[in-house]
Structure 1
Amino acid sequence: MKKLVFLFLILSFFLTSCEKEDTPELPVVQRTVFVYMPWSTNLLSDFQNNIDDMEIAIKKGILKNERVLVFLSTTSKDATLFELQYKDGECIRHTLKTYENPAFTTAAGITSILNDVKSYAPANGYSMIVGCHGFGWIPSSSSTRGIDQRMHWDSQGIYRTRWFGGKEFKTDITTFAKGISDAGLKMEYIMFDDCYMSCVEVAYDLKDVTHYLIGCPTEIMAHGMPYEDMCVYLLGTVDYASICEVFLDFYQNYERMPCGTIGVTDCSELDELATIMKEINSRYTFESSIMGSVQVMDGYLPAIFFDLGDYVTKLCPDRDLLDKLEVQLKRTVPFKSHTEYFFTMAKDVYRGEIIKINAYSGITISDISTNNDTAKKAETAWYKATH
């Protein structure tokens, strides 16, 4: 009997050893950058162009101690997770997993995808790039528009701009935040390559799951971010100032439509910004008769997104309190850039329109909007924290 027990122990040891050899632990890199491109109706070709531009950048040997994983939906039911790898002067795509009917509009589905990323590419830190349509903080259940009402992502004209997840596949920001939180992650940055995502309501919802938020306060052209030149600043030690400079240089010279806006929000500063805003709101009420004087950042009628800084200058007559807010706002949005005009397809989805930027803080707010789509603004975490 003792011999049998001894033989069993020896056999168990070898079996355990073999199992460990078959599933070696993956090396932990400094950062994994996750490019998330769920199904977005009419943007697939633009996403593919974005990935091509990332490959051009990676061919230059910019990857040091980072990995780049891409989740790309090619239909509403099919998606692939693959890695962009540098090898012998080329960038190759290494498929890691395929998905059927991924639940990318649910928190559980997002958590599952992020757990896959962690499993395939363990890292000391993570960042996330999101390519989709975007509509800021507006929840999918808020849209009161009829089936014939066209939106900025419905563009059929010669110029197109970029609902987070597509027209029929919308992901609420609160759902997105829970998906990241449930995966146990806090990103170094989340960059939205989408329209209207640099807004204070979005940033406040995401402040516990990312250190920085990069996004556009207006619409962004369908081309998206200029990854060929921007990638080097998104990897390694992130250079937020250069990200904004590259963006501005690209869109100032963009032949199709030279318009673009970008802002970088330091989410650690948002609580202090909310504290000052709460004091302002407790003392002053916005005079609706001067709404037309506030810088709008969209083409909707009535407008949905307003420049946050310009709005507060019209709300708060107390110079000392306003100065305090302006100082904090610069800390909250330390990097930003914009062209002279922004472009919108919201007014005319066949031709579009350009609107002059007279005031710019790199982030928007919807507090004074009377648009039906903002009916639930008082339910946002930002509004509750500031009123």
Structure 2
Amino acid sequence: MKKWLYTLLVVVLAACSNEIPEQQPAKRSGRTVLAYLVSNSPNSLEINLQNNVVDMYTALAGSKDSCTLLVFYRPQEYQSFLDVPTLLCFDTDGRGNINGSPALSGGNLTFEGVCQTARKKEYTLNSQVATDPDVMEEVFADMQKEAPSDSYGLIFGSHATGWIKGTSFQARAFGDDNGYNIDIPDLADVLKRSFPEKKLDFVLFDACMMGNAEVGYELKDVTSHCIASVMETPALGFPYKQIFSYLYSENIDYSAVCHEFISFNKVNNAWGTCAVMDCSQMENLASAVKAKLSEWQDALSSVSMQNVQQYGVNSYKYFSYDVLDFFRELGGKSGVAETDLNEAIASIQTVLNEAVIAKECIPNPSNSSFRVDEARFCGIGMYIPGEYNRYVANKTTWNSYYEQSISWYRAAGWADLKLN
């Protein structure tokens, strides 16, 4: 009798533990959402990312279906409830329970409370950082071990500066762990190795300046869709309470995701753009851009870049120009009559309509001097190299890195052009 009671006690205690168990869990059907959040930077997003985690938890609590969320959180050193980088795991049963207990609410619904209810794995990085490829691969492997799934969606939350290299000057590419980041080609390689079966339905960048053709092209062999903003993203981030139900649905309504993001920013008197790239179409877009650049290359030196919608601000001004608006300007300088211009750029427009499947923007934000012309907003931007753009001719670091490391440079035909 005592032996039976002892065995029962062991089982109960094991069931009550909030540490990640060693045994292999059952495979989940549908999609599991993963988040990789990095806040350890001088310009910290700590409070904002903590609020994002609470909003994700709240959305799970209101879900009518069982689903799983895994969050890797790299806290700001000495500023967070969490002492070390930690993987937080949450399962909801669709009936208001998370990890087997009623979901937190009211005054208990805090970041600290959410962390206490999670199953956790802690990481000791030593001399490494959260943007180190080895660390990222380890975390993604742990996520998939903890929650085997038919497919995944992945959220990245941190600072970012698009395709721009971040190690030789003050830029971030993606992530900022005390000044260390990961460049986009390296990030794509990490994801290829971590998800070799291309099980990522989407990558959502809750980070600045990632909605560019260069980023979408790097990710074309990694994920089906990329959700991002071509501009700086307000620190509040995405409205997870509003969009989480879409991210778990079998067929994601990407237009609704963009709309919720823009509506949220409007309510909070912020700015914003949001677009969704179908990464399977990025090769076709590169081919269309390459063909049109080749056809109109003699007019490149005549393009007035100040007439093209650009999306950078401050030190990142001119890092990205609207793809379609650039070809409108280029076509106008190539001798195409204005009445025929739309037909002349139809090849770009058609492929863009397939590559950018959802987009929305705030054209005149009240608290920003930066204006987006909605009529000229195609959703995504691209860099115009210094040979053809006097505004970035002196950006030698940008231009050399772009030519040497960014796949879009060759795929889109820039490398094949001959200066007049």
TM-score by length of 2: 0.75
Q: Does residue 289 of structure 2 align to residue 290 of structure 1?
A: no
Q: 94-103 or 236-245, which moves further after superposition?
A: 94-103
Distance 2:302 2:45 in 1: 38
Q: Does residue 140 of structure 2 align to residue 114 of structure 1?
A: yes
Where does 1:159-170 land on structure 2 (aligned, <5 Å)? Answer: 163-166=173-176, 168-170=179-181
Following TM superposition, by how much is the alpha carbon of 1:357 offset from its aligned partner in structure 2, in angstroms? Answer: 2.4
Q: Does residue 169 of structure 2 align to residue 140 of structure 1?
A: no
Q: 79-88 or 273-282, which moves further after superposition?
A: 79-88
SS at match of 1:287: helix
Following TM superposition, by how much is the alpha carbon of 1:226 offset from its aligned partner in structure 2, in angstroms? Answer: 0.7
Q: Which has the higher contact order (CA 8 A, sep 6+)?
A: 1
Amino acid of the residue matched to residue 203 of structure 1? G
Distance 2:209 2:302 in 1: 23
Distance 2:55 2:287 in 1: 41
User: 1:80–1:95: 8 Å Cα contact kept in structure 2?
Assistant: no
Q: 1:242 aligns with which of 235, 252, 256?
A: 256
SS at match of 1:49: helix
2:60 maps to what in 1? 58
SS at match of 1:78: coil
Distance 1:248 1:109 in 2: 33
Give CA-to-partner distance per residue, 1:239-298, whole Å, 9 cap, x none: 2111011112211221xx331110000001111111111111212232355110000112
SS at match of 1:105: coil
Q: 1:63 to 1:298 in 2, by over 3 A?
A: farther
Following TM superposition, by how much is the alpha carbon of 1:23 offset from its aligned partner in structure 2, in angstroms? Answer: 6.0
Q: Does residue 313 of structure 2 align to residue 305 of structure 1?
A: no
Q: Does residue 366 of structure 2 align to residue 354 of structure 1?
A: no
Q: 27-36 or 366-375, which moves further after superposition?
A: 366-375
CA RMSD between the two structures: 2.3
Distance 2:291 2:119 in 1: 52
Q: 1:258 aligns with which of 256, 270, 284?
A: 270
Give CA-to-partner distance per residue, 1:349-370, whole Å, 9 cap, x none: xx96332425101111012454
User: 1:40–1:133: 8 Å Cα contact kept in structure 2?
Assistant: no
Give CA-to-partner distance per residue, 1:31-86, whole Å, 9 cap, x none: 2211101244101111000011112211112443x310000011369300011233
Amino acid of the residue matched to residue 27 of structure 2? V
Distance 1:278 1:293 in 2: 21
Unaligned runs of 5+ in 2: 1-20, 78-82, 105-113, 414-420
Distance 1:295 1:23 in 2: 53
Q: 1:332 aligns with which of 355, 363, 366?
A: 355
Unaligned runs of 5+ in 1: 1-21, 146-150, 154-162, 344-350
SS at match of 1:229: helix
In percent, how many aligned pairs have the same letter? 25
Distance 1:324 1:342 in 2: 32
Q: Does residue 390 of structure 2 align to residue 364 of structure 1?
A: no
User: 1:109–1:179: 8 Å Cα contact kept in structure 2?
Assistant: no
Following TM superposition, by how much is the alpha carbon of 1:308 offset from its aligned partner in structure 2, in angstroms? Answer: 1.3
SS at match of 1:334: strand
Distance 1:289 1:24 in 2: 62
SS at match of 1:281: helix
1:156 maps to what in 2? none
SS at match of 2:234: coil
Q: 325-334 or 84-93, which moves further after superposition?
A: 84-93
Where does 1:1-387 land on structure 2 (aligned, <5 Å)? Answer: 24-29=23-28, 30-41=30-41, 42-64=44-66, 66-75=67-76, 78-86=84-92, 87=97, 88-90=101-103, 93-101=117-125, 103-141=129-167, 143=169, 163-166=173-176, 168-185=179-196, 186=198, 187-237=200-250, 238-254=252-268, 257-285=269-297, 286-287=300-301, 290-300=304-314, 302-316=317-331, 317=334, 319=341, 320-341=343-364, 353-358=369-374, 359-368=376-385, 370-371=391-392, 372=395, 373-375=397-399, 376-379=401-404, 380-387=406-413
How many residues are treated as equivalent by the alignment? 340
Distance 2:90 2:193 in 1: 26
Amino acid of the residue matched to residue 119 of structure 2? T
